[in-house]
Amino acid sequence: MRATRALIHLDNFIHNLKEIRKFSSDKKMCVAVKANAYGHGAVECARAAVAFGADFLAVATVEEGIELRENGITAPLLMLSLCDPLEIDDAVKNRITPLVFDSEYINLFDLSCSKFGVTDFAVHLAVDSGMGRIGCYAHEAGDVAQCIKSSKNLFLQGMCTHLCVSDEVSPESIQFTKKQKEIFLAAIENVRSRGIDPGICHCSNSAAALNLDDFHMDMVRPGIVCYGYYPGDLTRKYFEEKGVSIDLRPVMTLETKVSCIKSFCADQSVGYGRTWKACKNTRIAVLPIGYADGMLRSFSAAGIKVSIKGKQYPVRGRICMDQCMIDIGNDSNVSRWDTAVIFGDPRYGASITADDVANSIGTISYEITSIITKRVERVYLKS
């Protein structure tokens, strides 16, 4: 096996799901496993989530849904993005539940169901309460529900909306999130007033699942917290200050090994563009991980350090496609083939998390784990 791999701590994943359940108690849970489970491996995470008791799994695309079905996952799948008309037959055949909100899309699904003799196809009605993405406006929800009801083969299994600033703590954002809930409740009422049961109502992403009890409704829909990261402003410190006990543990450790060590004299340079030069004699270790693995070029300028046996060493020069170089000084701590950890679980030698990496380059943990590419093997650890 290649030295560069992502350890996936399924014990931490289950621990995080238990933490979420402490907040959402008896509510249904839809675990987001879209984008290859935020880079952690969709099939294994989906299996673990179902074994834990997740009621739904959320995917973004038909292909992601098919991957789960082909691996024997029978749990209800919610598809959070719209698919292409050419993918609808596959969505129907694989019982991938779409979010719908207009008659054109509803009719395409209905027709496809007729083609395959499917007469009880679940759909969820999406409401745009302020995200400005998919969904109908609240005043249209009754008509859309009516359209679903009048279809031949579809039934309204649930209603949802998506919050866009629930992870922010400014008064303005808190106000906006409250308004989104009111809009969603109005949409639900609009559907009820037609004598139609709205079914399972849900709007809580990770931030609302942990921080806004009164948004849980019938189901919570967490993603990032399942993988061990705090959403937005709702950091570990934020919860500590609030006196709320919540302990999230990183599910991925990205590691590699030292592939060689070389001595450097003062003035020798490292890598493309010769952007770094040794100012004194030192030793440089080469790691077989690069931007094509998800170790982005921007990590280098951001001063991200790699951990070897509990000590941190800076990346030098530009990160290449498949390799990068670190400065290990004249420290005898490091030997060839030693494990070098980029980020992850401290039990496995990490000094930083994907959140620290994200903060250094001005992005969010979501992006750091989900860009770990396919050639990095995921190694699943149960304990």
User: Could you give the residue numbers annotated as active site?
Assistant: 34, 272
Stretch that binds ligand PLP, among 2-10, 40-48, 218-226, 285-293 (CB under 6 A): 218-226
DSSP state of 369: H
How many CA within 13 A on the CB side of residue 188?
A: 19
Residue 295 CA to residue 297 CA, distance in Å, equals: 7
Token pair of 51 as six digits: 């074994």
Beta strands in 34-104 (DSSP E): 56-59, 77-79, 96-100
The SS3 assignment for 339 reads strand
Q: How far is CA 353 from the centre of its chain?
A: 15
Which of the stretches 2-10, 65-73, 215-223, 233-241 binds ligand PLP when contact is defined by CB under 6 A? 215-223
Which member of 222, 228, 317, 344 binds ligand PLP (CB under 6 A)?
Answer: 222
Q: Which stretch binds ligand PLP (CB under 6 A): 117-125, 223-231, 284-292, 324-332?
A: 223-231
Shortest reach from residue 357's CB to ligand PLP, in Å: 17
Secondary structure string (H, E, C) spanning 29-50: EEEECHHHHHCCCHHHHHHHHH
- Residue 29's nearest CA partner among 11, 8, 9, 14 is 14
d(CA 134, CA 128): 6
By the rule CB under 6 A, 48 interacts with ligand PLP? no
> Is the Cβ of residue 67 or residue 255 nearer to ligand PLP in the bound state?
67
CA distance 47 to 57: 10
In the complex with ligand PLP, the residue whose CB is nearer, 39 or 223, is 223
Residue in 337, 375, 376, 341 with CA at minimum distance from that of residue 259: 337
> Can residue 307 be called a binding residue for ligand PLP (CB under 6 A)?
no
Question: Token pair for residue 36?
Answer: 């290859």
Which of 221, 283, 316, 378 is close enough to bind ligand PLP by CB under 6 A?
221
- Report in angstroms how near the CB of residue 28 gets to ligand PLP at its nearest: 14
Nearest residue relative to ligand PLP (C-beta)? 223
Which CB, 210 or 306, lies closer to ligand PLP?
210
With binding defined as CB under 6 A, does residue 41 bind ligand PLP? Answer: no
Contact flag: residue 158 with ligand PLP (CB under 6 A): no
In the complex, the smallest distance separating the C-beta of residue 103 from ligand PLP, rounded to whole angstroms, is: 22
Q: Looking at beta carbons only, is 226 or 334 nearer to ligand PLP?
A: 226
- Binding residues for ligand PLP (CB under 6 A): 32, 34, 80, 162, 205-206, 221-224, 231
